[in-house]
Amino acid sequence: MSVRPLDPVGVAAGLAGAVSMAFGTVLTRKWQPPVPLLTFTAWQLAAGGLLLVPVALVFDPPIPMPTGTNVLGLAWLGLIGAGLTYFLWFRGISRLEPTVVSLLGFLSPGTAVLLGWLFLDQTLSALQIIGVLLVIGSIWLGQRSNRTPRARIACRKSP
């Protein structure tokens, strides 16, 4: 496996995305949207898509004629991978503390790695396995630290 140096533009884009997601998570809870959750989710995804279209048209190669498999894959990613997951994300933010919900976002890369391994015969390196375990451990620790002392005592007393 060849090792490439980090791309500074990619690192900056990743950091900007993380900061944007953090602000969005906290501010969504603070400014409860005045529309139904499904409408809010649809507007979020539409706005994000409209912002990406010009960038894709400038920097990506022309889009080939889609096949049936492409259309099904796009429908899956759009409806389940984006629509349903964002709806559940915003629903969680409206009912739970943002710190609890934000920890679940770390499951996405690990889930992608595991699904690639299960369904696409992709190989897992030791580093990827360690990364998945670190993420799961971090989520567990984060959830554990969010419990109140009373909840911890109740957990210890229950059989």
What's the angle, vertex CA 18, arms to CA 118 and CA 55, rounded to 5?
85
Q: In the chain, how long is the greatest CA-to-CA distance?
A: 62
Contact in structure between 28 and 89 (CB atoms under 8 Å): no
Q: Could you state, in order of their start, the residue ranges of all structural domains in the chain? A: 12-96, 106-159
Q: Supply the pLDDT for residue 157.
A: 55
Q: Supply the pLDDT for residue 121.
A: 86
Mean pLDDT (10-residue bins), the chain, 159 residues:
79 88 78 81 85 90 89 88 82 78 74 84 84 82 67 53
Whether the model clears a pTM of 0.85, i.e. scores above it, the answer is no
Q: Residue 102 and residue 104: Cα distance in Å, rounded?
A: 5
Supply φ then ψ for residue 158, to 5 degrees: -75, 145
Alpha carbon separation from 31 to 23, 40, 52, 57, 64 (Å, rounded):
12, 12, 25, 33, 41
DSSP 8-state code for residue 34: S
Q: Supply the pLDDT for residue 12.
A: 92
